[in-house]
């Protein structure tokens, strides 16, 4: 297994261009299957999760090429709506294929995407939404069979604003007969991007970005060319890395409006942030201030996907901060690893009480999930001495060669791959 070795203590400095958003690209690639033809998607990041999605699409009969950030995806020859269990299990986002496959083929067979290190991650809202559109759903162990002779628009209320369920329902409803209204919808920017893509294919959807989305079903969709939005979580991770190392970093290709809650919290921590169009400049030279209370909640509140990275900054702050995680119950596993680096954190139910320390110290730590892994990298960059981050395949799911990005900003970081035996 690859690992990252970091010599900490060097402030990051320089300019970096932010990659396209993984969480927008994954549903958009799945949605391509709603049209028969060749779609071209730009700014698709080079990530493990993206490769898994493309492999699933190839398995279904599509032709897919991913070169220099552009995916050319020909869905004409897709001939099956059954996703193999082995591929389904590699990534939770494979569940995004359920709505599009059902809409295109009238049936689909998928498997439960499997447990995840950060919590239970149910799919009941996805299934209820598709049922409301007329699907019959049979659950046989971990196999899910969905059938619908035709999908018919419906009024659907989500009891929780699930990102994935909102997206699955939008994709299926795009080809349903009549109008679908999704109330209690998730409002994340990635949902607006999916709406943009579906409408570019000829769908009639309004409301993404608010809690009510209206989809007027159309008979068919046409392939198109589309560009993915910048990744707000990668941008946020680098902003926090700049602040934790007391560096000066300029991020290009960002959408600052997507980062409002993070910017607000970082400013409260005393970090200087300057916004100029799609550029964000982050600078910090002093010890961060504690932030009394941060609570992760659905967008536009503080994102769960930046909770662990933000916590690293708080471990170095002057004072006591509280970080409460409300989205995923198992998402405080990085606390143990950060403690090994000298952080002073106590967990009480789903809250972490972080007492800032003057410095962290290098250690050998393990990435337990994608964002926890990113947090440990930030901690390693800020720490005194050498940090080894293991299990970095989690990090590769969401960051395109993180060591290259950080080296470009002056970090002393290298990837070590085991030498194959033979």
Q: What is the nearest approach in angstroms of ligand UD1 to the Cβ of residue 256?
A: 19
Q: What is the nearest approach in angstroms of ligand UD1 to the Cβ of residue 122?
A: 4
Instruction: Give the catalytic positions in this structure.
Output: 116
Q: Decide: 20 and 45 in contact? Cβ < 8 Å.
A: yes
Q: Which residue is nearest to ligand UD1 (CB)?
A: 164
Work out whether 164 is an interface residue with ligand UD1 (CB under 6 A). yes
Q: How far is CA 418 from the centre of its chain?
A: 28
Contact with ligand UD1 (CB under 6 A): which of 123, 313, 335, 382? 123
Work out whether 126 is an interface residue with ligand UD1 (CB under 6 A). yes
Phi-psi region of 368 (alpha: psi -120 to 50; beta: other; left: phi over 0): alpha
Query: Which window, 28-36, 74-82, 158-166, 259-267, contacts ligand UD1 (CB under 6 A)?
Result: 158-166
A 10 A CB-CB count for 358 gives 9
Say which DSSP state 83 is in: P
Work out whether 157 is an interface residue with ligand UD1 (CB under 6 A). no
Whether a cis peptide bond, with omega within 30° of 0, leads into 122 is: no
Q: Among residues 185 and 317, whose Cβ is nearest to ligand UD1?
A: 185
Q: Among residues 304 and 405, whose Cβ is nearest to ligand UD1?
A: 304
| Footprint of ligand UD1 on 346-405 (CB under 6 A) | none
**Sequence-distant (≥ 6) Cβ neighbours of residue 186 within 8 angstroms:** 158, 161, 162, 163, 165, 166, 298, 299
Work out whether 165 is an interface residue with ligand UD1 (CB under 6 A). yes
Q: Among residues 262 and 413, whose Cβ is nearest to ligand UD1?
A: 262
| Footprint of ligand UD1 on 176-195 (CB under 6 A) | 186, 190
Work out whether 197 is an interface residue with ligand UD1 (CB under 6 A). no
Which of 412, 403, 410 is closest to 3 using CA atoms? 403
Phi-psi region of 9 (alpha: psi -120 to 50; beta: other; left: phi over 0): left
| Footprint of ligand UD1 on 17-76 (CB under 6 A) | 23, 26
Work out whether 93 is an interface residue with ligand UD1 (CB under 6 A). yes
| Footprint of ligand UD1 on 283-322 (CB under 6 A) | 304-305
Q: Decide: 196 and 214 in contact? Cβ < 8 Å.
A: no
Work out whether 160 is an interface residue with ligand UD1 (CB under 6 A). yes
User: In the numeric block, which tokens belong to residue 336?
Assistant: 């143990």
Beta strands in 103-170 (DSSP E): 107-111, 136-140, 143-147, 155-157
Contacts to ligand UD1 by CB under 6 A: 23, 26, 92-93, 119-126, 160, 162-165, 186, 190, 304-305, 327-328
């Amino acid at each position: 297994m690859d690992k990252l070795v970091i010599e900490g203590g060097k402030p990051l400095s320089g300019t970096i261009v932010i990659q396209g958003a993984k969480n927008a690209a994954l549903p958009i690639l799945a949605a391509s299957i709603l049209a028969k033809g060749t779609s071209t998607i730009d700014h698709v990041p080079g990530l493990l999760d993206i490769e898994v999605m493309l492999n699933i699409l190839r398995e279904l009969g599509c032709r897919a090429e991913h070169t220099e950030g552009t995916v050319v995806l020909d869905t004409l020859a897709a001939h099956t709506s059954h996703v193999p269990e082995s591929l389904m299990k590699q990534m939770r986002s494979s569940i995004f294929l359920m709505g599009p496959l059902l809409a295109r083929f009238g049936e689909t067979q998928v498997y439960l995407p499997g447990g995840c290190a950060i919590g239970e991650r149910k799919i009941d809202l996805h299934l209820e939404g598709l049922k409301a559109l007329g699907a019959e759903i049979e659950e046989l162990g971990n196999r899910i069979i969905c059938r619908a002779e035709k999908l018919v628009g419906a009024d659907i209320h989500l009891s929780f604003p699930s990102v994935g369920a909102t997206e699955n329902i939008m994709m299926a409803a795009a080809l349903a007969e009549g109008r679908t209204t999704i109330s209690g919808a998730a409002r994340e920017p990635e949902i607006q991007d999916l709406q943009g893509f579906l409408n570019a294919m000829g769908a009639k959807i309004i409301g993404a970005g608010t809690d009510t989305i209206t989809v007027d079903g159309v008979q068919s969709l046409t392939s198109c060319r589309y560009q993915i939005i910048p990744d707000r979580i990668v941008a946020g991770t680098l902003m926090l890395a700049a602040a934790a190392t007391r560096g000066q970093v300029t991020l290009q290709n960002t959408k600052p409006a997507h980062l409002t809650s993070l910017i607000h919290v970082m400013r409260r921590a005393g970090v200087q942030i300057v916004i100029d169009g799609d550029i964000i400049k982050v600078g910090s030279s002093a010890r961060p201030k504690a932030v009394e209370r941060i609570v992760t909640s659905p967008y536009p509140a503080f994102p769960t996907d930046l909770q662990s990275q933000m916590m690293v900054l708080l471990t170095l702050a002057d004072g006591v901060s509280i970080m409460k995680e409300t989205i995923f119950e198992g998402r405080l596993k990085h606390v143990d690893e950060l403690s090994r680096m000298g952080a002073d954190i106590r967990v009480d139910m789903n809250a972490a009480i972080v007492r800032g320390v003057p410095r962290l110290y290098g250690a050998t730590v393990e990435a337990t999930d994608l964002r926890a892994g990113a947090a440990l990298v930030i901690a390693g960059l800020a720490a005194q001495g050498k940090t080894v981050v293991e299990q970095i395949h989690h990090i590769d799911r969401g960051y395109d060669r993180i060591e290259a990005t950080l080296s470009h900003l002056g970090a002393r970081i290298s990837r070590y791959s085991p030498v194959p035996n033979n």
